[in-house]
């Protein structure tokens, strides 16, 4: 799964971008936690990173 697909799914579940520089900070209303995402839109997300994003966001990826 590419970073652009992850962003699309997160937005669909109500997560949104709140700031950051090289690694944007996102907020999840599901878990009420902030988490980092990457700007590498066309790159594939590594399995471990995908798992961490899924856990922090509460969105099944």
- What pLDDT does 30 receive? 96
Give 17-55 pLDDT, tens digit per residue: 998 878 899 999 999 999 999 888 899 999 999 999 999
Q: What are the C-alpha distances in Å from 22 to residues 1, 12, 31, 32, 59?
A: 20, 23, 23, 22, 23
- What pLDDT does 5 receive? 95
- For 40, list phi and psi in degrees, rounded to 5: -85, 75
In the chain, where the domains are located: 3-52
Q: What is the pTM of this model?
A: 0.86
Gyration radius (Cα) of the chain, Å:
10
């Amino acid at each position: 799964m590419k970073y652009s697909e992850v962003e699309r799914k997160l937005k669909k579940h109500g997560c949104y971008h709140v700031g950051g520089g090289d690694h944007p900070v996102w907020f999840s209303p599901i878990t009420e936690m902030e988490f980092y995402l990457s700007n590498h839109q066309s790159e594939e997300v590594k399995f471990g990173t995908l798992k961490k994003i899924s856990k922090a966001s509460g969105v099944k990826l």
